[in-house]
Structure 1
Amino acid sequence: MPHYTAPVADLLFVLCDVLRIDRGVSDSTDRDTCAAILTEVARLAETRLAPLNRRGDLEGCRLENGVVRTPAGFPEAFAEVCAGGWYGLDCAPEHGGQGLPHMLHSAVGEILSGANMAFHIHAGLTHGAYSAIAAHGSAAQQALYLPKLANCRWTGTMNLTEPQCGTDLGLIRTRAEPVPGSDGRYKLHGTKIFISAGDHDLAENIVHLVLARLPDAPEGVKGLSLFLAPKFLPAADGSPGARNAVTATRIERKMGLHGNATCEMVYDGAEAELLGGPNQGLAAMFTMMNEERISVGLQGYAQAERALQGALTHARERRQGRAVTGAAQPGAEADPILVHPDVRRMLLDQQGFTEGARALTLWGAQLVDLARAGDAGAAARLSLVTPVIKGFLTDKGIESCLAAQQVLGGAGYIEEMGLSQILRDARVTAIYEGTNGVQALDLVARKLGADGGAALLALLGEIGGFAAAPAPEEIARDFLAPLRGALGHLQAAAFRLQSYGASDPEAALSGASDFLQLFGHVCLGYMWARMARAADALPGPARRAKLDAGRHYMSRQLPATALHLARIEAGAVAVLPLDAGAAE
């Protein structure tokens, strides 16, 4: 398994030099504070979590009498992470959190996920559960659950999918029956599948957020309500009490993430209480789901970062052939493969993506902070770019992991080298929390036209204004000019999709995935332009390294916007000849 080194310097550059965290909603969060936090979590991730990554993959989780047992070393490491307060950095101080910006929480999340993604997912949905209860819970629910979720003494899950439905939540059958004579209690009956960390032995309790139907509820998604169903019913003093009637009955055998149990959960009269209003479950659940989609985008590029580190180390150490311009190291029997242009191309493709993705995700986290502070414009932009962050960063993250595996050649196909596990773990990021095709449909069908397209127009104006601003010649030529060209492609694509409109919805939606990819490239181009402006003030070698990586992205990756525009303009001609109703 490649050694993992937390990218503290790059995280600090984005947080402090590009996004200026010290000038945001928490102006007391300066560079020294960020550096101290990231340095300490990096030590924990590198020394405690990364060494468990391979063990988790090999050993996996096991189901014993309805209880999931995690791999050896996981419980002790989880206790250590929780004791440090790392999962609740941006939670409210009155709940035991530290009240720090979500940007910093996301930066810490990259380090923890990069070190051991399967381990980190045990707490990954807890933050979303915290946010959902904070936004929609009663005062009593908030007082009971939020302090325990903030420090992961209790963890949270999200229960949507059932055997007969995934994306189409209107098909949910799990039912909630009122308990006669109780004070708002219900009994849940049904089966949920694909529940990440549905059961484990790491926390005192697990709080399941479950979508279900009340009696006489309307059909479809309008009839869904959200319920809290803890594994152990809270006692009078708030401690875990009697075992609830919810059980993990199966652990899925998966391609990757073996160190995290994906469970089938059976609710056999489990006691639950309503979270939010009756038949308002989907709105409450989306508070959690949208947050998790950004977190999944982060997972995608965090795995790409770890894969890049392994590929770069191998390229420096593996000797094959000679540089095309002559021996780079004549005293050795061969040169490191890093001398070969195609190897450097693959590595720079990975670096250009990973660093741009980091900036984009932390910018999304900055929008979260602004939205929480009441900035409606930031909230609208966040809604617009959420499917882009999730879809584009996971698609490209998987491609980046593949490229890293390719750098290793045959060794990359061998399990002991570790790239196989990274790739297998990363693969699910394009699938869960809504497949990337669903993200593209959400972007085109719902987000583009929201409020008359106000969020898109605002973002186009923001990027266009930045690209048109005066800049040093090198920055203007190598970053801002390409960004303006790509922005023009995005505007043309949006206009074309709008022109299809209601008269030809299949033409519009057949281009949805290309539009998401085009949008993602423009967003990364925007981030690289911002990073280039900030890097211009760095000392010589650091400035050159950053600008070289960005220049590679702008010249070799950003031109893909023209390809995606051409596909969108082709309409449905090449997509729809297959008869969906044909028997075979």
Structure 2
Amino acid sequence: MRGLNLFACPATLPDGTRNTVQTVRIEEKMGMHGSPTCQMAFDGARAELLGTIGQGLAAMFTMMNAERLDVSLQAVGQMDAAFQRSRSHASARRQGTTAGETAMITQHGDVQRMLLDIYAHTMGCRAMVYRTFVDMDLGADQGLLDILTPTCKAFATDAVNIASSQAVQIHGGYGFCKEYRVEQIMRDARIMAIYEGTNGVLATGLARRAIRTNNGAAADAFAELVSTGPTSMELADAIDDWRASTTAMQNGTDIGPAVTDYMRLTGLVYFGRVWADLETVADHAPEPALLRAAASHVRARLLPEASLLRRRVKVSEPTHAAEIFAL
């Protein structure tokens, strides 16, 4: 028999007796303390087969695709909390001088950069995930969803790790103290890039399967999606970088070291697309000036990263790392 099986293991058997399932230990984790994680033993336990023999992994992935978008929204929520707490602290914290007067740190350019970074990723990732959920509900092409779903998960969960670090930085030394409630975000956020498929595994699946199946049909659908709508010069350049990188990944063989860069580039282009759409409706935002400032920030400071990622993807010199680390 090939393949894995999926079982449901009840705590109580039909006759009312306890099934032989035991919690062996509770794990001590760096974060997510409100969600206990444990090791379990199934010593002679009774269970019921779910689905078809050998198709357990396929059944799990049906659930995991939706779970990956749920994790993306979890990251968005944490980024939103990081932004709200950082903005509140920065608007009340005085340090340094401007025009001879003690200044709020929101007047310092580097703090403005970090606040815009967190806000831009919060809004952009939220729009990416919502749009993907809508496409899923409307029955969009599965090949396209196989690109959008892992891209949302990897991009948002990488973003929350950066945003939480920036939130601590904005708070200064206070950020390292529990009472200011940003260090918890940093600890809790770290797991998001790991569970429901590590971001490296998702990047490998994107590069080795999703963009190659059906002669690259899903990649073509993604290219059409990100090209439809108002497109700035910076977004157009990023899309060109993605197209060139996609060709390189589709035709390459030793692509392993580049898959994370390619996933980041795919997410950045999707992120740029939704931000271009958000900017067109800025007048309807609760804070139009903030949204426009963030849109400008995305164009000027975030989308240009696409050029660097394209260069990284095209590097094909062998590193012989497998032989090195095997020693």
- Give the TM-score normalised by the residue count of structure 1: 0.54
- Structure-2 residue corresponding to 1:526: 273
CA contact (8 A) 1:518 1:561 kept: yes
Give runs of aligned pairs for residues 201-350 of structure 1, distance below 5 A.
Answer: 217-218=1-2, 223-233=3-13, 241-323=16-98, 326-327=99-100, 330=101, 334-350=102-118
Corresponding residue for residue 498 of structure 1? 250
State how far apart, in whole Å, the 2-side matches of 1:582 and 1:521 are.
31
> Which amino acid counterpart does residue 112 of structure 2 have in structure 1?
R
**What's the CA shift for 1:443?**
0.7
1:405 corresponds to which of 140, 163, 168:
168
Identity %: 39
Contact 1:322 1:339 in 2 (8 A): no
Match of 2:313 among 547, 560, 568: 568
Aligned-pair distance for 1:583?
A: 5.5
Does the C-alpha gap of structure 1 residues 312 and 267 become closer, same or farther in structure 2, counting only changes over 3 Å?
same
Contact 1:353 1:553 in 2 (8 A): no
Q: Give the aligned residue type for 2:27.
A: E
Partner of 1:580: 323
Max radius of gyration: which structure? 1
Partner of 1:292: helix, strand, or coil? helix
Give the secondary-structure state (helix, strand or coil) at the position aligned to 2:32: coil
* Structural mapping, 1:152-191, within 5 Å: none
- Structure 2: which amino acid aligns with 1:491? R
Deviates more, 1:543-552 or 1:267-276: 543-552
Distance, in Å, in 2 between the alignment partners of 1:370 and 1:234 is 40
Q: Which residue of 2 aligns with 1:429?
A: 192
Q: Equivalent of 1:558, from 303, 307, 322?
A: 303
Higher helix share: 2
SS of structure 1 residue aligned to 2:261: helix
- What is the Cα deviation at residue 579 of structure 1? 4.4
Indicate whether 1:486 and 2:217 are aligned. Answer: no
Please state whether the residue corresponding to 1:363 is helix, strand or coil: helix
Contact 2:10–2:19 (CA<8 Å) still a contact in 1?
Answer: yes
Letter in 2 for 1:418: R
Whole-angstrom CA distance in 2 between matches of 1:499 and 1:368: 29
TM-superposition CA deviations, 1:141-189 (whole Å, max 9, x none): xxxxxxxxxxxxxxxxxxxxxxxxxxxxxxxxxxxxxxxxxxxxxxxxx
Q: Which runs of 5+ in 1 are unaligned?
A: 1-216, 236-240, 468-478
The answer to whether the 8 A contact 1:300-1:397 is kept is yes
Q: 357, 364, 367: which is aligned to 2:132?
A: 364
- Alpha-carbon RMSD across the aligned residues, in angstroms, is 1.8
Which of 538, 558, 567 is equivalent to 2:284? Answer: 538
Give the letter for the 2:4 counterpart. Answer: L
Deviation per CA, 1:263-304: give whole Å up to 9, x if none: 101111221111111111111111111111121122222211
Q: Which of 216, 219, 223 matches 1:456?
A: 219
- In 1, the alpha carbon distance for the partners of 2:317 and 2:281 equals 42
Work out whether residues 151 and 263 of structure 2, in 8 Å CA contact, stay in contact via their aligned partners in 1: yes
Say which structure is richer in strand. 1
**SS of residue matched to 1:459:** helix
Q: Distance in 1 between matches of 2:18 and 2:200?
A: 39
Deviates more, 1:411-420 or 1:422-431: 411-420
Question: Given that residues 143 and 210 in structure 2 are in contact (C-alpha distance below 8 angstroms), is that contact kept between their aligned partners in structure 1?
Answer: no
2:76·2:156 contact (CA, 8 Å) conserved in 1?
yes
CA deviations on 1:408-466 (whole Å, 9 max, x unpaired) are: 01111112221111100000001111211111101101111122211110121122232
The one-letter amino acid of 1:315's match is A
Find the counterpart in structure 2 of residue 476 from structure 1.
none
Quick one: structure 1 residues 400 and 261, their matched pair in 2 at CA, closer, same or farther if it must change by over 3 Å?
same
| 3-state SS in 2 of match to 1:335 | strand
TM superposition shift of 1:517: 0.5
Residue 243 to residue 459, structure 1, CA distance change in 2 (3 Å)? same
**AA matched with 1:368:** M
Match of 1:516 among 237, 249, 263: 263
SS in 2 for 1:227: strand
Residue 492 (structure 1) shift: 0.6
Distance in structure 1 (CA, Å) of the matches to 2:278 and 2:264:
21
Distance apart, 1:380 and its partner CA: 2.4
2:166 match: secondary structure: helix
- CA offset at residue 581 of structure 1? 5.3
The separation in 2 between residues aligned to 1:262 and 1:297, in whole angstroms, is 20
- Matched residues in 2 for 1:270 and 1:485: separation? 57
Shift of 1:245: 1.6
Contact kept? 1:394, 1:429, Cα under 8 Å: yes
Aligned length: 327
Residue 544 of structure 1, CA deviation: 2.7
Please report how far the alpha carbon of residue 400 of structure 1 lies from its aligned counterpart in structure 2 after TM superposition. Answer: 0.6
Task: Give the C-alpha shift of residue 234 in structure 1.
Answer: 5.6
Deviations 1:195-238 (A, max 9, x none): xxxxxxxxxxxxxxxxxxxxxx22xxxx2111111223467xxx
Aligned-residue offset at 1:256: 0.4
Helix, strand or coil: the match of 1:242?
Answer: coil
User: 1:17-38 CA deviation, whole Å, 9 max, x = no partner?
Assistant: xxxxxxxxxxxxxxxxxxxxxx
1:321 is paired with a residue whose SS is strand
Q: Is the 8 A contact 1:445 1:509 kept in 2?
A: no
Residue 119 of structure 2, aligned match among 331, 345, 351: 351
Shift in Å at residue 497 of structure 1? 1.3
CA distance in structure 2 between the partners assigned to 1:271 and 1:261 by the alignment? 24
**Secondary structure, counterpart of 1:322 in structure 2:** strand
Contact kept in structure 1, 2:5 and 2:56, CA below 8 Å: yes
AA aligned to 1:525 is G
Closer/same/farther in 2, CA of residues 321 and 234 from structure 1, 3 Å limit: farther
